Structure formats: structure tokens, C-alpha cells
Amino acid sequence: MFTGIVEELSAVKALRRSAAGARLTVSASIVLEGTALGDSICVNGVCLTVTEMTGSEFSADVAAETLKVTNLGALQPGHQVNLERALRMSSRIGGHLVTGHVDAVGRLRERRQEGNSWRILFDAPDAALRYLIKKGSVAVDGISLTVADLDAKGFSIAMIPHTAKLTTLGFKAAGDSVNLETDIIGKYVERLLATGTGKDVDLGFLREHGFA
């Protein structure tokens, strides 16, 4: 489990593909402090297990399924990635609960400066968009962000200078892909409200059962 508060922005050293998947090697320093083999590190929003480590880098195996449902397969040596160590139960949760299990890949639609911050718009598939609410939480490439607004195609966020400086969102441009993870609470609520009839939980369903 993670919080979406990026600890380090570091460079990819290699992504070696094989028939079974790939091995990703990333330069790092902060996230290696207190980390042991078998621990989890969130890389651009994807929970990976450390399988090899030195004082200046770590490697993790990436399954074929992970390459299929995230944007990790597009990484090249020199690309910057967001890194975060797994949450300790005694730690403050500065963002929100992030599992590192990506729901969908979205795309940056537009970015525009607003004063000292930026408004960034993302296109998102329905599989992720259905769980987003205005002022709710979303993880974009592993960054905990607040949904500023929604439209039929996606959502927008407000990015402060601190986030721009310390994460990949500082240099992402229109057309770039991003890993999206929606708030896990919404998924559990939907599951608990399910009746077993195969119906989706929508406004009509909530009205029918007295929730709206």
C-alpha cells in the first residue's frame, strides 16, 4: 500500500524484455533507504517487487500482464519515473490509499497555466471514469491528486509548483500516457451495493433501492 506522495524522481537505466515480461532497472537513492529485497516500490503508480538492489539502483521483474495494462512498457533508458516506498502503518497518510494496481491508462489532453499553478486535463476510459467524483482522489502515475472537475471524456486536476518540480507531471505534455488508479473506496462501495443480479450501480439503481 502507498499514499501517492512521490519520494523521488529518478531515471530508468534499462528495460530488458523477454518472453515472460521484462526486467526494469531504475537509479535511486531515497527509496533504497531501509529497503530490502522483496520489498515493494511504486514506479509510476505500479507496485513492483525489488528483486535486485545496489546502493544506487534497483531492479524489478515486470509481468507481461503489467506491461499490457500500464505504460511501463514504453519506458526507455533516461526516462524519469516517480518512486515511492510502501507505506508503514505508523506513517502519516499525506495523500490517499494507493494500491499500485493500475485501473487504466489515460492520456494527457491539455495543460494550461493558471497563475502560479497549472490546470491539467486528462482523457480517461469509462472503466476508470466511472469511479471518479469531483473533489475525490485519483492517482496519476502514482501521484495522489484531487479531481478538480469532470467531463464526458475525462477529468482535470490543479498542479502546484511543488508537484511540478518533484514529479513527472512537471514535464508531461499533451498526448503523453499516464497510469490511472481510482480511489479503492469507490470500488468497495460498488461491490457491497451489488445485488448479484449483474446490474451496474447507477443513479437509477440507487433510487430503486432507496439510496437517492
Q: Which of 18, 20, 56, 63 is catalytic?
A: 63
Catalytic residue among 146, 162, 195, 212: 146
- Whether residue 70 lies in the annotated active site: no
Distance CA(2)–CA(88), nearest Å, equals: 9
Asked if 49 is an active-site residue, the reply is yes
Q: What is the DSSP secondary-structure string of 134-171?
A: TT-EEEETTEEEE--EE-SSEEEEEE-HHHHHHSGGGT
Residue 42: active-site member: no
Amino acid at 23: R
Residue identified by cell 475525490 is 136
| Catalytic residue chosen out of the listed positions 29, 49, 54, 91 | 49
Which of 2, 58, 122, 155 is flagged as catalytic? 2
In which order are the strands placed within the sheet that holds 177-182? 143-146, 137-140, 177-182, 104-114, 117-123, 154-159, 149-150
What's the CA angle centered on 192, arms 149 and 150, to 5 degrees? 10
- The one catalytic residue among 3, 40, 137, 182: 40
Distance CA 57, CA 39 (A): 14
The Cα–Cα gap between 144 and 81 comes to 15
**Could you confirm whether 101 is annotated as catalytic?**
yes
Active site residue 63: yes
Establish whether 2 is a catalytic residue. Answer: yes
Catalytic residue among 11, 18, 101, 171: 101
Are residues 15 and 22 in contact, defined by beta-carbon separation less than 8 angstroms? yes
One of 22, 28, 42, 47 is an active-site residue; which one? 47
Instruction: Point out the residues that are catalytic.
Output: 2, 40, 47, 49, 63, 101, 146
